[in-house]
Amino acid sequence: QLQASGGGLVQAGGSLILSCTTSTRTFSRVAVGWFRQAPGEEREFVAAVAWRSGSALYSDSVKGRFIISRDDAKNTVYLQMNGLKPEDAAVYFCAVGNRPNVDGRSYYSSFYGYWGQGTQVTVSS
């Protein structure tokens, strides 16, 4: 089971840290990504982090504000979200990639083979 947590209500300009954990799988040898979906919108890529190297990719909309990281000893991937804007409000999902590295394919849902439950992030203006 893959579980995202840490969502909540925050004022614009504030910060949140999301966590993605698994009790039945492992993040070893796979990249992990975060996506988000706002009401009436399609799911969109947010960030992804590679296994071992920790190389990261970000969408243009969050680059410079969000930081993705991983602690494989804890089977946990984090998404540090700073400078939150109302347009960041969405349900955030984490997903396990089909390979260890990140590249252009990591921006797409097809790169990921396993998805968890989402966590709601609300940003008040």
> pLDDT by residue for the chain (125 residues), tens digit each?
899 999 999 999 999 999 999 887 789 899 999 999 999 999 999 999 999 999 999 999 999 999 999 999 999 999 999 999 999 999 999 999 999 999 999 999 999 999 989 999 999 99
Question: Can you tell me whether residue 115 is helix, strand or coil?
Answer: strand
Nearest to 46 by CA among 31, 61, 32: 61
In eight-state DSSP terms, residue 117 is B
3-state helix, strand, coil in the chain (%, to 5): 10, 50, 40
Q: How far apart are CA 87 and CA 21, in angstroms?
A: 25
